[in-house]
Structure 1
Amino acid sequence: MCFYHLIGPLNDEANHTLSRLIPHKVELRAYDTMVGIITKNASRMFGGTTISRNEEWLKSAADYSMDVVSVAVKLRPYPAFVRPLIYPFLEGSKILDRHLYVAKKTFSHIFAERLALKEGDDKPIDMLQWLADSARGSDRNPDVLAHNMLFMALASVHTSSATIIHVLFDLCANPEFMEELRQDVQQAVDESGWTLAAIAKMKKVDSFMKESQRMNQAVLMTFNRKVAKPLKFEDGTTLPVGTYITMPSHAVATDPDIYSNPETFDGFRFYDKRMSSKTEANRHQFATTGPESLAFGQGKTACPGRFFAASNIKVVLSNLLLNYDISFPPGQTERPKNLHKGGLVRPDPRQTLIFTPRK
């Protein structure tokens, strides 16, 4: 599922959205703004401008994540076999039904057309076609595939939106990095155009994103699992059935034995690591996972969409850097504190930013 040919369209979508959303100096809530932009860019990858300019779908794609989590939390206290009986009576169930209706209305007829294409036909390069080509058995039902698009939105919208919001907050709190990042983008685009090669050349931007992600983990603990059968380690330690295990992703990301001065934001921390060791350069990229970088998971359960997410975030961030000066409102210099709920961490949705078009 190569997205090599999607960088140009993603840039086109970001440019189209930003030029209309921010034609002049304006103060906007970062959260709402970035959710809207990321939703449109992700939808462009899903199925082109037909999807990315469909306002009904865009609203469902942006709202679905929060709505489905809200209902899931209400269902969690009940045994699994009871949940289907309780669901229709829960507040929020009608909203989810509406999202499913919109997904089917938007995608079912397109999937029916895509499933009818044969080998040798000129097939579009997008997520809809990839899903249609890989579907087997009962999954080759246009309504089932349309339902899957809500899961695509769940995976691609709010996680990427939160990441770029954190990046913007860190950029405004550390404005000394802005011009050098801007030059990093300009040089890459001048050399390679809006291509995957250019995205790969934006090493300083990649480093800034990874440092922001390091200090603003989406969750304090990750890889949450319940032991289903006795688990024995090499040293003889055995975990009994029912044991809960997890990995402290935030603690790892701020461990002084792994990162020097871990509480200090260093936007070029990972750029310097990449430049200092060619043999380990790939270890320090934004989308790379490892024991010291658990934001995307690790091993076979690592996020499969992280490479697209990295490219999409870079495209949007690059457009912002090239076309706007970005700052906190007058008088504010410090980054807003993140909000914590349970083990979840999110950027403050109330924070506004000032976007000023560059001449």
Structure 2
Amino acid sequence: MPYPLLLQIFNRIGQRVLVGPELGRNKDWLALTQNYTTSLLQGTNTVRAKYPPALRWLAKYLERDVKMVYKQRQRGAALLSPVLKARLAAKTEKPTDTHHDAIEWLINEYHRTGRKVTAEEIAQDQLGLTMAAIHNTAATVLSTLYDLIDHPASLEDIRREARQAMDQHSGINRAALQSLHHLDSFMTESLRMHAMPEVTVQRLALVPKTFHDGFHVAAGTQVMFANRQLNHDPDVYPEPERFEAKRFYDPDLNKHHFASVTDESINFGSGFHACPGRFFAQDVIKLLLASLLVRYDFKYPEQGQKRPADMADNLVVYPNVTVPLLVKELAL
């Protein structure tokens, strides 16, 4: 099954950006960050199923799943502590010495807002970022791979485009990624057809609001938009149930690209609170797919097999992660 392998790959890439090379290569940290999301979701489901809101504070003392979340946070703080101490000491001795990772961003933000920088707080923030960055990205790559297998002509076009980009730009770099227009369009169409969030742009009304037409929203009302319905609306996309690989093909990238947030695309949210990591996710997905497609071929085990049906979990839809794929190395 490719999903566990994709998860490991994205975890390594994500941690290199979030915590830098030292922790990003630490096996204990990598194991922790990969397992944290599962523990958190299990703990959350346990609390919601067994405890009324007024008694949920008891769960961390009584429930094994919830205890595991706190244990993992403590372990994260212990692993991060020496790195954080070294960073803070270096900033004291040489304030201009900076690192390009999320530890540095968090330290600067804590200082800006007057919060105390502690390993416990930074570790919890890092684990939260990891939860948002890794699993969804790995699932998106798997979903795109399924669609590529189902559209072999597009796969060959993208493979040829990737090879040309690597030759022209001497490997995979930012310029090469920006030239992968066929891949970008295919990824965007795959995401349109199989968007993971059923709803997006979730908001909570903090004060009552009455609109000019008399429509009233009471304080405490949750508001959200039907994301998948928009993606399949014929008034927005002609023949929305047909997979069109070049629907978003735009060599100039003036409007449509994978991380776009427009009136027609709210997969990543909208407005000020749109996903801040969407451009990072876009580049990492393109980087991995381009690298994989020029080196390997993929197919289902059974002749004539097509994309497996997606799996729904509450308001999230994931590709089926249990289906095995056959992988063959290509002659370069």
Q: What TM-score does the superposition give when structure 1 sets the normalisation length?
A: 0.84
* In 2, Cα distance between equivalents of 1:223 and 1:68: 23
Number of equivalent positions: 325
The structure-2 alpha-carbon separation of the partners of 1:127 and 1:188, relative to structure 1 and needing over 3 Å to count, comes to farther
Residue-by-residue CA offset, 1:252-294 (whole Å, 9 max, x unaligned): 00111111111111122101xx25xx6xx43211111122111
1:237 is aligned, of 201, 212, 215, to 215
Aligned equivalent of 2:180: 202
- CA RMSD of the aligned region, Å? 2.0
Question: After the TM superposition, which residues 58-69 of structure 1 pair with which residues of structure 2 at under 5 Å, given as runs?
Answer: 58-69=30-41
Aligned equivalent of 1:349: 321
Letter paired with 1:98: K
* In 1, Cα distance between equivalents of 2:158 and 2:100: 31
1:189 is aligned, of 163, 166, 170, to 166
Given that 1:204 and 1:268 are in contact with CA atoms closer than 8 Å, whether structure 2 keeps it comes out as: yes
Residue-by-residue CA offset, 1:28-75 (whole Å, 9 max, x unaligned): x12212111111111121234433332222222122112212212222
Aligned equivalent of 2:11: 39
1:162 aligns with 2:139: yes
Question: After the TM superposition, which residues 206-355 of structure 1 pair with which residues of structure 2 at under 5 Å, given as runs?
Answer: 206-271=184-249, 274-275=250-251, 281-355=253-327
1:135 is aligned, of 97, 105, 110, to 110
* In 2, Cα distance between equivalents of 1:48 and 1:112: 14
Unaligned runs of 5+ in 2: none
The structure-2 alpha-carbon separation of the partners of 1:124 and 1:229, relative to structure 1 and needing over 3 Å to count, comes to closer
* In 2, Cα distance between equivalents of 1:35 and 1:260: 34
Taking every aligned residue pair, what percent have the same amino acid on both sides?
30
2:157 is aligned, of 136, 161, 180, to 180
Matched residue SS, 1:146? helix
Given that 2:46 and 2:65 are in contact with CA atoms closer than 8 Å, whether structure 1 keeps it comes out as: no
Matched residue SS, 1:76? helix
2:76 is aligned, of 92, 103, 122, to 103
Cα deviation, residue 169, structure 1 = 0.8
Instruction: Please say which of residues 328-337 and 46-55 is displaced more in the overlay.
Output: 46-55
Given that 2:204 and 2:222 are in contact with CA atoms closer than 8 Å, whether structure 1 keeps it comes out as: yes
Given that 2:47 and 2:56 are in contact with CA atoms closer than 8 Å, whether structure 1 keeps it comes out as: yes
1:82 aligns with 2:33: no
Given that 1:56 and 1:102 are in contact with CA atoms closer than 8 Å, whether structure 2 keeps it comes out as: no
Instruction: Please say which of residues 216-225 and 300-309 is displaced more in the overlay.
Output: 216-225
Cα deviation, residue 177, structure 1 = 1.2
Unaligned runs of 5+ in 1: 1-28
Cα deviation, residue 121, structure 1 = 4.0
1:126 is aligned, of 92, 97, 101, to 101
Given that 2:78 and 2:119 are in contact with CA atoms closer than 8 Å, whether structure 1 keeps it comes out as: no
Given that 2:177 and 2:286 are in contact with CA atoms closer than 8 Å, whether structure 1 keeps it comes out as: yes
Instruction: Please say which of residues 336-345 and 218-227 is displaced more in the overlay.
Output: 218-227
1:148 aligns with 2:121: no
Matched residue SS, 2:203? strand
1:112 aligns with 2:67: no
Letter paired with 1:247: F
